[in-house]
Amino acid sequence: MKEILLVARQELWINLRRPGYILMTLLIPAMGVVVLLIGAAFGGEVGTFLESQFAPNQKGIGYVDQSGLFGPPLPHYQGYFTPYPDEASARAALLAEQIDSYFLLPADYLQTGQVVFYSTGGGFSTFAAADSEEIRSFLVEQLLAGKVDPAVQNRVRAPMDIRAVTLNASGEVRTENPFSWIGDFVVPYIFSILFIVTLFTTSGFLLQSVSEEKEGRIIEILLSSINPTQLLAGKILGLGAVGLIQVLVWFGAGAALLIAAVALFALSGVINLSLGTVALGLVYFILGYLLYATLFAVAGSMGTTQRESQQIAGIFSLAAALPWMVIGFIFTNPDLPIAVAMSYIPLTAPVMMLIRLGFGQVPAGQIALSLALLAVSIALSLWAGAKVFRTGLLMYGKRPGLKDLIQAFKQA
Amino acid sequence: MIEVENLVKHYAHVKAVDGVSFTVAQGEIFGLLGPNGAGKTTTIRTIMDILKPDSGTIRLLGQPVTEASKARIGYLPEERGLYKNFQLLECLTYLAALKGMPRKEAGRRASALLERAGLEEYARRKIKELSKGMAQKAQFLAAIVHDPDLLIMDEPFQGLDPVNTDLLKRILLEEQERGKTVILSTHDMNQVEELCQRILLINYGKAVLYGPLDEIKARYAEHAVILECDGLPEGLTGVQRVEQHNHTCELVLEQETSPQAILRQLVAANVAVRRFEVATPPLEEIFISVVQRVPQEEVQ
């Protein structure tokens, strides 16, 4: 035990001094501070500013009405929508950059609904402009002007203005807050990403530290003093502490920033992150770390160089990346069967559960089963890992083959 | 100090060590010799409990090797390396602490050794900033920093200049004077002749020569004298052939001729003799002849 602590202490000390680690640990809170300061400085203007940045049209849109249904633009559209008598003049205006784009309403528009949209940008900007709300509104208003009641006309233009009400388990309406989505979604989401980032940087450190010792040939001296299991345990413990410190710094900074944000913007109910979710996140973080740390350490012991080890470890990283590939579907349904399945597979469970916990409630039964499976696989990988670790460490210049590994299992 | 009995260790296909037995007495410098791939490193690794033997016993001071007794061994492996990003003093202290030495004492002893080896200015430097020779010395110190009773040194002087080789040799001999035991594995037979009292030569995993160095050399002594003089007189009797070297010549004698008889003839011929020596073969020759002979015996 004394030896394990010695190794752990050394790993902790060495890795806390890494410039990359210090930078990463401080950079994330610093970015939060910058975002907060920008928010404080510009206040409500931020939204307007962003909107203007993304608005596709600046100079206005032309149109050629061959159907004769639309007439001249209504007063509030004048100056932005410009009618042209024929396509040639509209095209000339577009090429002369008097307008950003124009659209052609064919003679049979009423029957087909077809509109031909012309612009010089192409690609995504064309798509965004052609789909824009303002052209839609323009068409509806021009078409219905004077024919129907303005109120009806407004509803045709914007048939629904959604106010979502979420009920809790007992059927009560959850208190609404215009910014509650920050607490419900953004904050847990950011934290789950940070958890995952730390999980993999720390496991990466472990791989690096093992391959450094192997590549640097120091391993033989170490093994003449302590046994491989002690070495493995010490490293996992020490680097686990390194990761935990990073997470705690981020959590502390995050909490401080949120409190500052609440004070600055007079928001309420933003911090919706339950302590239970955070604690569960921490459990998944620790278990996920244990599993990946063991696998990465074994990968480190097997490769002859750090690069080779990283290739071996890449297989495991790929498994960890799988949950991100289905994240788009989890947005709409956190209980998607594939998401649930990935919550049970030990290699994907930590990442998947951290994501799902960020999105909302996960049934307790699923959590229990996934934790149990994870714990069993950690025990298995530690047991097998220690044996492969021992064999891999002493093989320089050659990766242990299947035969070597089988022999390792027989002996140890 | 250490008794190895009937040690056998297989790898997947190869028998790396095949029934090797030897003992090392306390206070001696013991040479563990053999060509590349003979099984020296495997033998050492099994002693260090890094590898488990297939069969055979290893006893340290009459006891099987345990985690605790391993702390009494200092090991300089053939594969060199220290933590590149550690400071020199920090690295030595850590390695001594891993061997169970209290940190404070480890730090004190590491400092003292750095001074002894002339590295005290580099104590706070990172190891990757050291020159190759300095790193090699540091590696040597790492093996003795925890004040072990048994030192196992695999090619300790490799790549060192004569001054530093001499320095480390003196440190090694000082350790011997303090009652420490040394197992020295090297390919440099001159160093073996200079330092070792007894040797074990292994080849293809088997012990082929084992015993006190003097006895082994006497057993392989040729019937010859080595001579350094200005020109050999004509008509020397009792000489089978003459082998001319750079400054010396070796006279291989006929069976019934004694070296004394040759000396008498030289004096009678009034030759100015600068050196006259009864030839024992250098260990290197014994090594080569034994190692080359063994495969044929294996075939029979």
Count of other CB atoms within 10 angstroms of residue A219: 25
A33 and A40 Cβ atoms separated by less than 8 Å: no
Nearest CA in chain A to B53: A411
ipTM reported for the complex, 2 dp: 0.74
- Would you say residue A26 has pLDDT above 60? yes
Whether residues A220 and B142 touch (CB distance < 8 A) is answered with no
Nearest to B94 among A10, A215, A223 (CB): A10
pLDDT tens column, A364-390 = 888 999 999 999 999 888 888 888 877
Whether residues B98 and A7 touch (CB distance < 8 A) is answered with yes
- Which residues of chain B neighbour A217 with C-beta distances below 8 Å? 77, 79-81
Band of the pLDDT at A185, cuts 50, 70, 90? Answer: low
Nearest CA in chain A to B45: A224
Whether residues A6 and B97 touch (CB distance < 8 A) is answered with yes
Whether residues B79 and A225 touch (CB distance < 8 A) is answered with no
Distance of residue B70 Cα from the nearest chain A Cα, in angstroms: 7
- Would you say residue A128 has pLDDT above 80? no
B255 and B224 Cβ atoms separated by less than 8 Å: no
- Domain B2-217 and domain B222-279 have a common topology: no
Closest CA to A90 of A64, A122, A60, A129: A64
- Is A59-157 assigned to CATH 1.10.760? no
DSSP state of A182: I
Distance of residue A222 Cα from the nearest chain B Cα, in angstroms: 8
Q: Which fold has domain B2-217?
A: Rossmann fold (3.40.50)
pLDDT attached to residue B235: 78
Closest CA to A367 of A357, A376, A359, A379: A357
pLDDT attached to residue A214: 80
Alpha-carbon gap, residue B232 to B205, rounded angstroms: 46
Mutation site, B79, B130, B151, interface A, largest A CB count within 10 A: B79
DSSP output for B58-122:
EEETTEE--HHHHTTEEEE-SS----TTSBHHHHHHHHHHHTT--HHHHHHHHHHHHHHTT-GGG
- Which residues of chain A neighbour B95 with C-beta distances below 8 Å? 221, 225
Higher pLDDT, A11 or A387: A11
Residue type, A409: F
Closest CA to A360 of A181, A177, A176, A200: A181
Whether residues A225 and B85 touch (CB distance < 8 A) is answered with no
- Would you say residue B233 has pLDDT above 80? no
Distance of residue A122 Cα from the nearest chain B Cα, in angstroms: 54
Residue type, A403: K
Q: Which residues of B touch A (CB under 8 A)?
A: 12, 45, 48-52, 67, 70-71, 73, 75, 77, 79-86, 94-95, 97-100, 142-143
Closest CA to B53 of A396, B44, B1: B44
Whether residues B50 and A220 touch (CB distance < 8 A) is answered with yes
For chain A, give the mean pLDDT: 79
A224 touching chain B per CB within 8 A: yes
Measured at the CA of A154, the angle between CA A152 and CA A158, to 5 degrees, comes to: 120
Sheet holding A116-119, edge to edge: A81-83, A61-65, A101-105, A116-119
Distance of residue B201 Cα from the nearest chain A Cα, in angstroms: 23
A50 touching chain B per CB within 8 A: no
pLDDT attached to residue B234: 77
Residue ranges per structural domain of chain A: 2-36+180-411, 59-157
- The encoded tokens of residue A126 equal 């064309």
Nearest to B50 among A394, A403, A404 (CB): A394
pLDDT tens column, B125-178 = 988 898 888 888 999 999 999 999 999 999 888 888 899 999 999 999 999 999
Whether residues A224 and B80 touch (CB distance < 8 A) is answered with no
A402 touching chain B per CB within 8 A: no
Residue ranges per structural domain of chain B: 2-217, 222-279
**Level-2 CATH architecture, domain B222-279:** 2-Layer Sandwich (3.30)
- Would you say residue A222 has pLDDT above 60? yes
Band of the pLDDT at A150, cuts 50, 70, 90? Answer: confident
Nearest to A407 among B12, B95, B142 (CB): B12
Place of tokens 């339950």: A274
Rg for chain B (alpha carbons), in Å?
23
A403 touching chain B per CB within 8 A: yes
DSSP output for A10-70:
HHHHHHHT-HHHHHHHHHHHHHHHHHHHHHHHHTTHHHHHHHHHH---SS-EEEEESSS-S
Whether residues B82 and A218 touch (CB distance < 8 A) is answered with yes
- Would you say residue A405 has pLDDT above 50? yes
pLDDT tens column, B256-294 = 888 888 888 888 888 888 888 887 777 888 888 888 875
Q: Residue B3 CA to chain centroid, in angstroms?
A: 18
- The encoded tokens of residue B297 equal 């015996």
